[in-house]
Amino acid sequence: MPFNVMIVDDSDSTRAYIRKIIGLTGLPVDQCLEAENGRKALELLTHNPVDIILTDINMPEMDGLAMLRKMKEDRLAQDTPVIVVTTEGAESHVRMAVELGARGFVKKPFLPEEIKNALLKVIRPKEGVGYGKDKRTTNDVDF
Amino acid sequence: MEKTKELLMMSIFEAFERMFYIFLEPSDPGCNGHDMEASIGFDGTVKGQMKLLLPRAVARKMVQNMLGLEDDKVTVSQMEDCAREAVNVVCGNFLGKVDPSDFRLTSPTCSKPVKGEASVQEGEGKNVFVLGFAAEGGRIGVAVVIR
């Protein structure tokens, strides 16, 4: 079953690069939404069904951690797995992202297969969409 | 000091090879001919600033390689965006190697370099690193000031 993915990054080139990688993975993607910061992503989330979110952390207006916090507070897209794709790999940020619900972590600079592997880990094999809510720890996230 | 320089070089090579498919060779840092200066600040256990200086031809190649575009399809806006993303990725990668416990990055900026070369001076910070690299399309410069 095709899924909808949302890429949140303030770099147009990086969003285009990730979109291109996703296209090359052969994974069944229906819609690929894009947002340049957390605020725009939240707006899109309220109007569009999204199955997987890939987000950067360091963005103007609303960063990725603030977006995750807001999603948690507002119970917005709570079942949607979030993969953090960022250069800000500080341990404190990774811990915070996991506490706020992130399901995967890809550090920039990444290889295309790292994005693919992170996507495959959060796609439920038979249903083609993300995991539901469950308990998770930092041990469940790839650093 | 040498260890930090080694980590910086490793971060630069990794970022350019993995994201932009550009292979660099260490070169003389005091070169001119840069058209773009991307800059980012960092804070945390280590504080300072990083600058990346690029000739337009290298920035163009970065966009082409990353997005698979033909030469005439590359825009100035894309080149500036790639320059900002490059300094962001190099800096984050470098800080992750120096001290991964806690660091924050500012939003990267891109402008025309004032002097055409890495504009940092000894004495601006505790440690200053200025490195040069040769790439297809020209030479790039990277300057880091750790305060």
HEC secondary structure over chain A:
CCEEEEEECCCHHHHHHHHHHHHHHCCCEEEEEEECCHHHHHHHHHHCCCCEEEECCCCCCCCHHHHHHHHHHCCCCCCCCEEEEECCCCHHHHHHHHHCCEEEEEECCCCHHHHHHHHHHHECCCCCCECCCCCCCHHHCCC
Q: What's this model's pTM, rounded to 2 decimal places?
A: 0.88
pLDDT tens per residue across span A96-127: 999 999 999 999 999 999 999 999 999 864 45
Q: How far is B123 from chain A (nearest CA, A)?
A: 28
User: Nearest residue of A to residue B13 by CA position?
Assistant: A109
pLDDT tens per residue across span B54-90: 999 999 999 999 999 998 999 999 999 999 999 999 9
Angle in degrees, 0-180, between the axes of helices A12-25 and B56-67, rounded to the nearest 10: 30
Interface test with A, best of B85, B87, B93, B106 (most A CBs within 10 A): B85
Question: Phi and psi (nearest 5°) for B47?
Answer: -120, 150
Cβ atoms of A9 and A3 closer than 8 Å: no
The terminus-to-terminus CA distance of chain B in angstroms comes to 13
Q: How far is A111 from chain B (nearest CA, A)?
A: 6
Torsion of CA A66, A68, A72, A78, to 10 degrees: 160
Q: How far is A58 from chain B (nearest CA, A)?
A: 7
The terminus-to-terminus CA distance of chain A in angstroms comes to 29
Measured distance CA(A126)–CA(B21) in Å, rounded: 35
Question: Phi and psi (nearest 5°) for A94?
Answer: -65, -45
Measured distance CA(A100)–CA(A72) in Å, rounded: 7
Measured distance CA(B43)–CA(A132) in Å, rounded: 36
Q: Which of A58, A89, A110 sits opposite B96 (nearest CB)?
A: A89
Which residue reads 């897209």 in tokens?
A: A77
Partners of residue B19 in chain A, C-beta under 8 Å: 17, 108-110
Q: Which of A10, A17, A90 sits opposite B101 (nearest CB)?
A: A90
Contact at CB, B100 and A111, closer than 8 angstroms: no
pLDDT tens per residue across span A42-95: 999 999 999 999 999 999 999 999 999 999 999 999 889 999 999 887 888 889
The candidate with the shortest Cα–Cα distance to A89, out of A132, A25, A142, is A142
Partners of residue A11 in chain B, C-beta under 8 Å: 81-82, 84-85, 88
Question: Phi and psi (nearest 5°) for B131?
Answer: -125, 150
Q: Which of A12, A91, A109 sits opposite B14 (nearest CB)?
A: A109
Contact at CB, B107 and A11, closer than 8 angstroms: no
Check: complex ipTM more than 0.90:
no
Among A100-109, B118-127, B132-141, the range scoring the smallest mean pLDDT is B118-127
